[in-house]
Amino acid sequence: MRFDYLQPKTVEEAISLLSKFDGKAKVIAGGTDLLVQIRNKAIKSERVVDIGSIPGLDYINYDEKRGLSIGALTTIRTLETSSEIQRRYPVICRAASQLGSVAIRNMATIGGNLCNAAPSAENAPALIGLSATCKIVGPGGQRVVPLEEFFIGPGSTVLKKGELLIEIQVPVPLPHTRGAYLKHGIRGTIELAIVGVATILTLAPRARVCRDIRVVLGAVAPIPMRARKAEKVLRGKKIDEALMNEAAEAASREARPITDVRATAEYRREMVGVFTRRAIREALA
Ligand SMILES: Cc1cc2nc3c(=O)[nH]c(=O)nc-3n(C[C@H](O)[C@H](O)[C@H](O)COP(=O)(O)OP(=O)(O)OC[C@H]3O[C@@H](n4cnc5c(N)ncnc54)[C@H](O)[C@@H]3O)c2cc1C
């Protein structure tokens, strides 16, 4: 497949190229999804706009008030190994470490992982659980969208023609917040998740009561989804084994899995229960 390769030097130039070609140009960042899709003829594109060489989109910043800002071109490997993130949001490092191999993580970007919008996108559940937002720029200016509302369906996001995701923002978590991310894949990290579960748990300072919790599931619905019924089971209660089981069953019922080459819907539903229970236990530990 032949395509024109365009290399803008600024975000503005990239947006103007994307607008000029009116949806007939595709953005490329690390290329680990896009090039596979082009080669497999899953998508056809006459032009590819490489944002990888735009300076200033690859950063990790932390501010005590605003929290964490991650540039869209930050690689998954940088997220995985960032001591700043490990100290303040270890669940983000954990999720990043579960994506593919080191070679893939060295190329793959966080922006690409989210914009590709696979239901199994590794970084989505933990970031949704942490209430992350997406900074988007395009011909109409800038807007900020909660990551939870960013995904529309498999391979589809709220990004409009000419728009780029440029930053992911993660607020400062409440005190006593901890998280877990577990991926279930038969061949470990090297394949896409059959099920991914993130739990972000905030405990009340005393008595280990669950002040708030997010349970977010990957690969078991058209988009990464919150298991709100499971969250409701736990919120405001002191978590014990019985409650964990109840929440796991609720998550399992809420999931909307499909059967595909990696697993049947029934197996996925069963594993949602198993991995939700484990992820709650790990966040509590
Ligand atoms: C062997 C292998 C194993 C993999 N394992 C996993 C895995 O375990 N878990 C997982 O989640 N993924 C996995 N992937 C998929 C892929 O590596 C990730 O989704 C990766 O993060 C994509 O990032 P990228 O920068 O390479 O995206 P690209 O391929 O460059 O782009 C992906 C999509 O996002 C769009 N895009 C990219 N950046 C932007 C932006 N800033 N604004 C707007 N649109 C943008 C592109 O147009 C394209 O549609 C694997 C891929 C391979 C080849």
Question: Domains plus CATH for the chain?
Answer: 4-50 (3.30.43.10), 60-170 (3.30.465.10), 177-284 (3.30.390.50)
Low-confidence ranges of the chain (pLDDT < 70): 189
Which ligand 1 atom lies nearest to the CA of residue 26? Answer: 47
Which ligand 1 atom lies nearest to the CA of residue 189? Answer: 8
Residue 123 CB neighbour total at 10 angstroms: 27
* Predicted model pTM: 0.97
The residues, any chain, with a CB within 8 Å of residue 75's CB and separated by 6 or more, are 30, 58, 105, 106, 107, 108, 109, 110
Measured CA distances, 50 to 13, 15, 62, 193, 245 (Å):
11, 11, 27, 27, 47
Distance 249 CA to ligand 1 centre (A): 32
Distance 214 CA to ligand 1 centre (A): 25
User: Which among 115, 151, 191 is the best mutation to test ligand 1's pocket, defined by most ligand atoms within 8 Å of the CB?
Assistant: 115
- The protein residue with its alpha carbon nearest to ligand 1, atom 19, reads 113
What is the tens place of the pLDDT at every residue in 203-255?
Answer: 998 777 999 999 999 999 999 999 999 999 999 999 999 999 999 999 999 99
Say if residues 132 and 149 touch (Cβ distance below 8 Å): no
Reported residue count of the chain is: 285
H-run or E-run covering 47: strand 47-50
- 162 Cβ inside 6 Å of ligand 1: no
Q: Which pair of tokens denotes residue 146?
A: 């909660």
Instruction: Name the residue among 30, 25, 58, 57 with its Cα closest to residue 43.
Output: 25
What local confidence, expressed as pLDDT, does residue 23 receive?
75
- 33 Cβ inside 6 Å of ligand 1: yes
- 8 Cβ inside 6 Å of ligand 1: no
- 72 Cβ inside 6 Å of ligand 1: yes
Using a 10 angstrom Cβ sphere, with 0-12 exposed, 13-18 middle and 19 or more buried, the burial of residue 100 is middle
